[in-house]
Every structure is written in C-alpha cells, then in structure tokens.
Structure 1
Amino acid sequence: FYEPILAVNKARRVRICGRGILDAGLMPHGSKTTISVSGSADVEIEGIIIRNSSNWAICLAGCESVRVSNVKEISGRLNSDGINPVGSRKVRISDCFIRNRDDSIAVKATQPKRPCEDILAERCVIWNDWGFALGVTYETRAPIRNVTFRDCDVIHSEHWALGVHVVDSATVSEVRFESIRVEHAAGQLIRLNVGKDFWATDAAAGRIRGVHFKDVAFTGAGRPRSSIHGHDAQHRVEDVTFQNLRIGGQVVTDPKQGRFEINAHTRDIRFAER
C-alpha cells in the first residue's frame, strides 16, 4: 500500500493512456501518490480516470516535457491533490476534470531543490473541496517561475479559488491567471501570501513578484473576499496586476470595491479596466 499504483522513474518516451480507471479506494489514507512520475522526460498521460486517491493523484517530480490531457480525477479523501508539477519544466495540462479534497492543480518545489518553470494548465474544470483550486502553493523551496493558468472553470471552491501561497524561502515570479471563470467561492476568491504555516520547512521566508490576473470573472452569488499579504519588509508581494477582474459583472478598479485585504508588506498592486 505504500508504493504508487503506477510509477515512472528516470525514463523517457512513456505514454500512460487508454480509457481505463485507476481506483485507489482500498489504499489507506496517506499512501503514496496514485501516479508518480519522477526524473523523467517526454511523458504523456492521456484519457484515463483516477478515483479515490488516498494522497496526490498525479505527481510530476523533477520531470521535463510532460503532457497531461483529458484526465478525470475524482476523490473526496483528504490530501487528494489533483495534478502537482513539482520541480519540473515544460509541463502542459489540458482538458482535465478534477474534483478533490486538497489542491487541485498546484505547482510546487520540494527537495531536492529544483526550480519549477514553464508550466501551463488550460481548459480544465475544477471542483475543489479543500485548499486551492489553481495556484502555486505551500511547498516552495526552490524558485518557481513562468506559470500560466488559462481558460479554466472553477465551479466550486471551499477555501481559495486562485492564488500563490509561499511558505518556504523561494521566490515565485511571473504567474498568470488568464480567462478564468469562478462560479463558487465559499472562502476567498484570490489569495497571495508570503508567510509560515505547518507545511513550511525553510527558516527564511520567500517572495512573490509579478503575478498577473487578466479577464478573471466571479459569476456566482455574493462578493467573496480576497487578500494580499507579504511577510515583512524584505519578503514582500510585489508587482501584481488585475486587468478586467469582474465580480458580479462589474469591473474591479480598486481594492475596496473588490473586498481585498492588503497589508503593508506589498508594493505595486494595480487594478485596471483593460
């Protein structure tokens, strides 16, 4: 029970495909990732269904040139992250449906400290019952840059729909959320945060630089809150742009209108109609 159902390690030109189902329902909580791909290149995961993951459904660790498409992942179990690129490069995630009880598509960097960059997730539908629906989250021990979430629908979010949450010492930069539609946000719509929590391992804090939101729309009932918090004067959130952010059909042009809480450890936060 403490090995992945499917493991790809230090391999090239691997394809996991078909119309089959991987069901981890018999695995106890805290077991290994359902599909683990590590140290590999030119990997494709396409067209499968993953059910009842007891931990992360798909982990892409230290990989390059990976494509995940038309995957459906459903789990109501705690810690059942959907798709996590970890310390990887050139990852493309598209046309997936994810319902899970932890981060849905989350970019991370753990040990060994490999940078994570050139990540694109597009045309995905997310139902998130815990954590972040889309974002760069928690494990941030190496630089993460050039990450784009584009043309996705978040149909349910309990905690945070979109965000960057840095709890380790790395700098996260150039993250884009483009053409994202959020139908439900019980917690916050957007969270950008540098701080410390249970998942932190580095003593030093990190930084967030260059996060861009373009054509993001909240279409559900009510007006959810958002927050932008730096850690201190040396570990800020800076250079954040909101372009055509819409809540309830109205373009948000200032923090108060969008119900943003912004602390003193931030800089260059901009709202624009176009």
Structure 2
Amino acid sequence: MKRTLLLAAVSLLLCGTLGARGVKTLREGTDFRADTTEVGDFIRLTLDGPTDIVLDARGGAIRGVDIRPVSRNIACRVEEGRLRLLGVTPCKIAVTFNDDPSRPVYLFADPPAPKEWRRLPADAVRFGPGVHEIGTRVVTGRDRTFFLEEGAVLRGCIYGKGATNVRILGYGVIDGRGTKRGTRFERCEGVEIDGPVVLSRNGWSNSFFECRGVTLRNLKVLSSQVFSDGIDLLATSDVLVDDIFIRNEDDCISIKTRKFGFSGNAENIVVRNSTFWSGRQGNALEIGWELDAEWVRRIRFENIDIIRKGTADHLFKRAALSIHHIGNAAVSDVLYRDIRIESVEENLVWIELIPAGKWGSGGGSVENVRFEQVSYLRGREVPVVIRGGGSGAIRDVVFREFRYLGRPVSSADDPLFRIENAQVTVEP
C-alpha cells in the first residue's frame, strides 16, 4: 500500500496520507525526525512500504532537481512548486534544487527496526524521545548496549576506552557538534553501531584507535568544517562498514596506522553498499597519509556511490579514491569494485609514495591495487595520478572495465593518466 508524505523543506513540517481509504497525519518527533545542520537539512523517517514523498522548494520556483545517487533511480515529478518523489523505499539520498548544492535536503528513510532491537539486554541504557545532555560519556568494561529510540537526541560523545562488546543501536541522533565528535573508541574490541544519525564539526566524527572487530551499519553522518572526517580507522582491523551515508568537509573514510600516540597495522577492512559526499577538504575514500607500520592490507571498497567530491580554492592532492603513502608500511591487496563517481573537482584517483615528513618516515610500498568496474559518470575532466617515489615504484595497479565520462578506457597511455615510476595495467 503506497503512502504520500509531504515534507515542507523550509519549516521542516510534515503531513501526508496513508492508503487510499484513510488519512493519517505524520508528525515530527513521532513519525519522523527533521533538522537543520551546517551542510543542509535532513529528514529521518521509517518506511515500511513504497511511499510518495513531497518536498517543498523553500517557497521558490523549481527550475531543476538533482537526486543523488543516480543509481537509486528515484522517479519524480514537479507539481505546483513541489517535488514529488515516487514510490520511495528505504534509502539515503541527497536532493538539490536549482543547481544549488550548498543547502541540499538529505532524506534518510530507514526500514522498520530490526526485531533484535526488541530483545535488548536488561541492563541496556535506553534513551527515549527528547534531548539528553551526555557530555563525553566514557564507556569501559564489557557488554554495554546503548539504545536510542526514535526521537532521541544525545548531545555529546560516546567515548569507549578499553571496552569489549559495545553496541550503539537505534534510530536516534548523536549530536556531537559541541564535542566536535560523535563517537570515539580507543583499544576496544567488538564495537557495533547501527542506525543513528551522527552530527559533528571540526573533528573526527567517528574514530577508532587500535580497535578490532568493528561493525558500522546504517549510519548517517553529517559534519562540517575542516577535520570533519566521517569515519577514521587508525591501526584498526577486522572492520565492516555497510550501508552508510556520509556528507562532510574532509575525508569520508580514512585508514591510518599511526597518529596521536596510537599505532599498529590495519587489515581486513570492508566498506560496501554506501554513499559518500566529500566537500572542500580531504578525499572520499582515503588510505593515508600516516602509514608507519608493517602493513596495510586486505582493504575492500565495494558497491559505492561517490556523489560529489569538492575542492578548496587551492589545489592539492585531493581525490575521490586515494592512497597518500608517507609512511613505511607495505600497502597491498586493495580492491575498488563497482564504484560509481558522479562529480569530482580535483582528481579522480591519486596514489603516491611521498617522501618522509612530519606525518611519516617514508620508504613504504604500494602494490596489488585493483580498480574493477569503476565508472566516472559526469563532471569536469580530472586526472588519474599514480606516482612512485624515492622509496621505489608502485607495482601491479590494474584497472579493469574502467569507464570515464561515458567512454571505456582501454590503455594506460590514455591522456587521463599521469603515471610516474609506477606499473599500471588497463584491461577491457
């Protein structure tokens, strides 16, 4: 049974109809959550079936609409100054009106809560609807569960130290803008975060230092300003990142091995089924810069949409897909598969061995990096840069079924490549 939902994007009020025989008002704080952040407005609601969703264009005429990621194939039509999204099912999308990406509307439509959330441990810490001032909530010990009911807002940061089996579940909001981060875990094992929206600014939004066994699922991250990384995995291994959305101004995902007194290898990391929008700083999917360790290996990025990658006024080495290696680690067995990139303003890919500096001792290596079914869909012409360095060549980089602005790329001699001291192969 299809529903109709009206979202007034200016005042963020909703009403709508349910079914063909009855009318139901959908109320903010009960049936959905809507809010404003520094990077746009977001609406969070739960859908249990196809739903028409109507967005008001802030009182102005709708001259154009951009719905990303395009792979979601959201059908729509404009009617009397409003945008109707047709038959929406659970998704995470960004809607831009009139070619103005500065104030998008993010629609986070979640599926019904998993049945598991109804069977939480008796000692689970539950946060009901409303605002909860938690400051920096330090978590230690083992077997700790935090549940955020729909409508719950935690203002502050959940900070795990040496904890085991910590779960943060639910469709609430962690507003870490005051603490400059939403979650931080140090030397923890068995961390699971599933469901919440995390807000942050000018700090690593969700960070993991020397952790093992991390699962991040159905996470929605909106953060602003420089250093607003979405997820940082530092000396952290055995990680699954699945079905998330990140919009921030720095790295969306960053994998490192040494910083702030923490160090160690990074391996067995999977990032999949997710959408990323990186702003003026940083990169969308980053390995680097700080990579002093024995190894960084078995890294997988699969089924991913990068809907925008901006750049600052000064060009640097920013890219949608990047390995900035200034450390001494052996980086190997990295796979980018089924990646759709919609807009990039600086570089499409950047891989480089960088001489020693304040972020690393240099001398590392990069080999066995594969790009399979990577497509750059639209936007300006930007290069693929792969540079070996004084420590040696970059080896065994393979592009397979690589498409660039609508055309297949069949040779490493294609002018889009800028290759120095690197072994690069392009396969059909």
The whole-number CA distance in structure 2 between the counterparts of 1:147 and 1:200 is 21
Paired residues of 2:343 and 2:380 also in contact (CA < 8 A): no
Residue 308 of structure 2 is aligned with which of 156, 159, 183? 156
Residue 409 of structure 2 is aligned with which of 240, 245, 252? 252
Pair 1:92-2:247 in alignment: no
The alpha carbon displacement at 1:193 in A equals 0.7
Q: Which residue of 1 aligns with 2:379?
A: 221
Number of equivalenced pairs = 265
**Aligned-partner residue type, residue 127 of structure 1:** W
The whole-number CA distance in structure 2 between the counterparts of 1:258 and 1:179 is 23
Pair 1:272-2:420 in alignment: no
The alpha carbon displacement at 1:94 in A equals 0.7
The whole-number CA distance in structure 1 between the counterparts of 2:406 and 2:365 is 32
The whole-number CA distance in structure 2 between the counterparts of 1:199 and 1:56 is 20
Q: Which residue of 2 aligns with 1:147?
A: 299
Pair 1:109-2:257 in alignment: yes
Q: How does 1:7-46 map to 2 (within 5 A)?
A: 7-27=159-179, 33-46=181-194
The whole-number CA distance in structure 1 between the counterparts of 2:415 and 2:344 is 14
Consecutive unaligned residues in structure 2, runs of 5 or more: 1-134, 138-155, 311-317
Residue 369 of structure 2 is aligned with which of 211, 231, 236? 211
Paired residues of 2:345 and 2:380 also in contact (CA < 8 A): no
The whole-number CA distance in structure 2 between the counterparts of 1:193 and 1:62 is 25
The alpha carbon displacement at 1:15 in A equals 0.3
The whole-number CA distance in structure 2 between the counterparts of 1:196 and 1:47 is 41
**Aligned-partner residue type, residue 137 of structure 1:** G
The alpha carbon displacement at 1:191 in A equals 0.6
The whole-number CA distance in structure 1 between the counterparts of 2:328 and 2:204 is 23
- RMSD between aligned residues: 1.9
Q: Which runs of 4+ in 1 moved over 4 A?
A: 1-4
Which secondary structure state, in structure 2, belongs to the residue aligned with residue 124 of structure 1? strand
**Aligned-partner residue type, residue 150 of structure 1:** E
Consecutive unaligned residues in structure 1, runs of 5 or more: none
Paired residues of 1:164 and 1:192 also in contact (CA < 8 A): yes
Q: Are residues 42 and 2 of structure 1, via their aligned partners in 2, closer, same or farther at CA, if it must alter by over 3 Å?
A: closer
Deviation digits for residues 48-92 of structure 1 (CA, Å, limit 9, x no counterpart): 111133311111111111100111111121100011111111100
Paired residues of 1:50 and 1:73 also in contact (CA < 8 A): yes
The alpha carbon displacement at 1:255 in A equals 2.8
Deviation digits for residues 204-258 of structure 1 (CA, Å, limit 9, x no counterpart): 33211110000000001333211001112x4321110000110122211123425
The alpha carbon displacement at 1:40 in A equals 1.3
Q: Are residues 147 and 270 of structure 1, via their aligned partners in 2, closer, same or farther at CA, if it must alter by over 3 Å?
A: same
Paired residues of 1:193 and 1:230 also in contact (CA < 8 A): yes
Q: Which residue of 2 aligns with 1:80?
A: 228
Q: How does 1:48-59 map to 2 (within 5 A)?
A: 48-59=196-207
**Aligned-partner residue type, residue 171 of structure 2:** R
Pair 1:190-2:368 in alignment: no
TM-score by length of 1: 0.91
Which has the bigger relative contact order, CA under 8 A and spacing at least 6?
1
Residue 136 of structure 1 is aligned with which of 264, 282, 287? 287
Residue 261 of structure 1 is aligned with which of 409, 418, 427? 418
> Please, which moves more after superposition, 185-194 or 15-24?
15-24
Residue 165 of structure 1 is aligned with which of 300, 324, 345? 324
Paired residues of 2:234 and 2:263 also in contact (CA < 8 A): no
Q: Which residue of 2 aligns with 1:231?
A: 389
Q: Percent identity?
A: 26
